[in-house]
Chains A and B, each alone.
Chain A
């Protein structure tokens, strides 16, 4: 069975600095999707970024980028120029392409942004 692991329960970053959140996953599939979601104090889950496994190029969305290492089964999220509004829980998620639309989520990393 597929699993997603986020080994950092909590991280802190100084405003305007860069922080990297880690995510590893386990799967025997060759094609799948990976996602990072943000959950601010409002608890609304917001999609941050997504990556298709067959694409070698790392996805980028403004200040957010990923480092996708398929062989290592690693999918880290880098937040550049951190802002106070980035403070939230961040969840890594996996979905394969076998036809069942199940997603598997990690346990989350709480990011604190220090002014």
Chain B
């Protein structure tokens, strides 16, 4: 089946630990994104990548890191520098090629809780 998978669904972290959230896609999309969702604040962009081995910071990149070594994968690491990491994290992909309408499709999300 084509789609976007995120794992794990729920993740618990102790303060001071780094954790990595997985995002994999088999849609052959070039562009991938990470969003953070907090109650009442909508979606905020953390990082995005338009092609392999290239990525850009979004609006709230501090305390996060990413890599894009393969087209299919865009893992997000939440580092100990992130002050308030408890949130719902969404991964998205889009075709990333003009002139088609570039619609984003989303994975099921990961709920991260800091204990």
Contact = CB atoms under 8 A, between A and B. Distances in A.
B50 A101 contact: yes
Interface string B25-69: 000000101010000111101001010000010100000000000
A43 B106 CA distance: 10
A80 to B, nearest CB: 23
A33 B109 contact: no
B42 A101 contact: no
Contact of A107 (B31, B42, B101, B105): B42
B23 interface: no
Contacts of B33: 101, 103
B41 A107 contact: yes
Interface of B: 31, 33, 35, 40-43, 45, 48, 50, 56, 58, 88, 90, 92, 94, 96, 98, 101-106, 108-109
Given A45-B90, A46-B106, A105-B42, 6 more contacts: A47-B104, A93-B104, A97-B98, A101-B48, A106-B42, A107-B41
